[in-house]
Structure formats: C-alpha cells, structure tokens
C-alpha cells in the first residue's frame, strides 16, 4: 500500500523486461509505477491518473518518440525523462530541446535511474510558484486515497475506483483544499459551489454522511471527516496536492 506522498511514475516502454525491472526497483524505493507500451497508453493513463513523472522510451515500435514528447509537452507540465540508446546523441539533444527534463541511456543502472528521477522531482517541487500551482492543481492525495480533479475520480488505498456524485466530489474537493481546518456548513456550501437545486435536495450533512460511507472504515465513528460540534466539519489528515 502506498501513502499519500508516494511519487507516481508512468513508464512507457515496449520491452517487458525493462518495465518489470523499473517497476520492481522503483517500487522497492518508495515509488508507485504504472506502465504502458504505446503513445495511446501514455495519454490514456495521464487522463485518468495523477502522474508525477513520465519515463518515456523514444524508440517505440511504429511510433515517433519525439512526436510523443512534443504532444506531452503541449498537454501537460508533468516532468519527463527520456530513455535513449547510448549512441543516440541527436535524440537526446532534440529531446531536451523539446522540454524533456533529463535522459537515461540504455542499458542503465537502476540506481542511477532512481537518482535521476528523484533529482527531477525535487527540481519541480522547488521551481513551481504558488500561482502556477493553484492553476495547475491536478489531484489530492490523503490517507492513501487519491482524488483526481481532472477526471473527477476517487481511488482507494487499494487502487479501486470509487464513484462520487457531483455533490460528493465538490464537497470532498473543498475539504481537501482546506485540510485540517474547521469549515462551517455555509463555508462548505460556498466552497463546493453546489447548485441551489442540489443544496435543497441534499444538505451538507447528507453529503458528509455519504462521503463517510465511502471513505471511512467505520462511518459511525469517523476519523477522516470529523464533526466539530457547533462549528462544522474538518478533514483531519494531511493532504498532498499534485500539480
């Protein structure tokens, strides 16, 4: 089970031995790995998951790796590390000019790969300014859960998708934005931007109860979304914001 601060790495490589090696080594070093074999896999996974870094092989069968890198840069600011052949200097230079953050040559040392990925992730954490972070927010992670703001998808600590209504999604997003702060019902109504018709039919208390049934081990004794008597509600855990 991964915690809320585990980096999620997407590996795109057609070689199953490379995918298995990377997944096993990074998984043993506090990283979560998803894998694919094509450009279609790359963008499908990006659309449905909150990815912290993409590791992309430039020599995918029948595909232009440079074009994939260019398309990725046009669609997202996610960190990008390229996998290239040892003698392909022109590819490495072009990849960096397209906006890749680093490259690793094959065959590679898993230890060096891990060091390079960690260095790129650290640079992104330092370089991103607060206004950019607010505009580029992609997902929240808390207590092993992941709420993807682009796909409106909630994933459990076990990796299972959990359906949310529009009201539940809006309310959970508001709680995550103000984690560990007490929010009144009026504040939650305003921050979640629920439509008046929905507010009329489904009060904040009802929405909270439904969220607890989906998030809590024991909804009758909640530990994540707690009630502050006479005040409102509070998401009690730390929340990591992904950009």
CATH code: domain of residue 47: 3.40.50.2300
63 and 153 housed in the same domain: no
pLDDT at 206 over 60: yes
What residues contact 189, with CB distance under 8 A and at least 6 apart?
A: 199, 204
What's the pLDDT tens digit per position in 63-105?
988 899 988 887 777 889 998 876 777 777 787 777 788 889 8
Write down the pLDDT at residue 28: 95
Nearest of 29, 35, 57 to residue 114 by alpha carbon: 29
Residue 159 structure tokens: 């990796």
Give the separation between CA 71 and CA 87, rounded to whole angstroms: 24
Flag the least confident range among 95-99, 198-202, 213-217, 219-223. Answer: 198-202
Write down the pLDDT at residue 196: 44
Write down the pLDDT at residue 185: 83
Q: Sign of the CA dihedral 93, 95, 99, 105? A: negative
Report the chain's mean pLDDT, rounded to a whole number.
84
Q: Sign of the CA dihedral 150, 155, 160, 164? A: negative
Does residue 161 lie in a domain region? yes
Does residue 2 lie in a domain region? no
151 and 123 housed in the same domain: no
User: Whole-model pTM?
Assistant: 0.59
pLDDT at 125 over 90: no
Flag the least confident range among 55-59, 105-109, 124-128. Answer: 124-128
Which of 23-27, 87-91, 195-199, 230-234 shows the highest mean pLDDT? 23-27
195 and 107 housed in the same domain: no
Mean pLDDT throughout 168-197?
79
Does residue 133 lie in a domain region? no
Does residue 121 lie in a domain region? yes
pLDDT at 131 over 80: no
151 and 238 housed in the same domain: yes
Q: Which residue has the higher pLDDT, 185 or 157?
A: 157
Mean pLDDT throughout 103-114?
91
Question: What confidence category does residue 193 fall into, taking pLDDT thresholds of 50, 70 and 90?
Answer: low
To the nearest whole percent, how much of the chain has pLDDT over 70? 87
154 and 113 housed in the same domain: no
Does residue 1 lie in a domain region? no
- Is residue 176 helix, strand or coil? helix
Structural domain for 55, as ranges: 8-127
Q: In residues, how long is the chain?
A: 243
104 and 213 housed in the same domain: no
pLDDT at 129 over 50: no
Number of structural domains the chain divides into: 2
Residue 180 DSSP one-character state: T
24 and 91 housed in the same domain: yes
pLDDT at 201 over 60: no
What's the pLDDT tens digit per position in 9-44?
999 999 999 999 999 999 999 999 999 999 999 999
At residue 75's C-alpha, the angle toward residues 69 and 80, to 5°, is 40
Mean pLDDT throughout 158-166?
88
Flag the least confident range among 40-44, 154-158, 183-187. Answer: 183-187
Question: What confidence category does residue 149 fall into, taking pLDDT thresholds of 50, 70 and 90?
Answer: confident
Give the separation between CA 96 and CA 100, rounded to whole angstroms: 5
Nearest of 98, 97, 101, 95 to residue 79 by alpha carbon: 101
164 and 238 housed in the same domain: yes
């Amino acid at each position: 089970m991964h915690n809320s601060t585990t980096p999620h790495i997407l590996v795109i490589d057609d070689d199953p031995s490379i995918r298995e090696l990377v997944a096993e080594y990074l998984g043993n070093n506090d990283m979560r790995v998803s894998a694919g074999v094509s450009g279609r896999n790359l963008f499908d996974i990006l659309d449905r998951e909150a990815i912290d870094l993409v590791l992309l092989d430039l020599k995918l069968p029948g595909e232009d790796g440079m074009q994939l890198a260019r398309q990725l840069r046009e669609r997202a600011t996610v960190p990008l590390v390229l996998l290239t052949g040892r003698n392909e200097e022109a590819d490495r230079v072009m990849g960096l000019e397209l906006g890749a953050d680093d490259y690793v040559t094959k065959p590679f040392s898993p230890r060096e790969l891990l060091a390079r990925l960690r260095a790129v992730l650290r640079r992104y954490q330092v370089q991103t300014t607060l206004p950019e972070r607010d505009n580029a927010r992609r997902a929240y992670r808390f207590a092993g859960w992941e709420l993807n703001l682009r796909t409106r998808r909630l994933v459990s600590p076990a990796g299972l998708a959990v359906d949310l209504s529009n009201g539940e999604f809006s309310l959970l997003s508001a709680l995550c934005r103000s984690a560990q702060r007490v929010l009144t019902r009026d504040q939650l109504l305003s921050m979640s931007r629920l439509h008046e018709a929905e507010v009329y039919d489904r009060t904040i208390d009802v929405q909270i109860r439904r969220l607890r049934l989906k998030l809590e081990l024991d909804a009758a004794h909640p530990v994540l979304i707690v009630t502050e008597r006479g005040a409102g509600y509070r998401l009690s855990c730390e929340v990591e914001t992904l950009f």
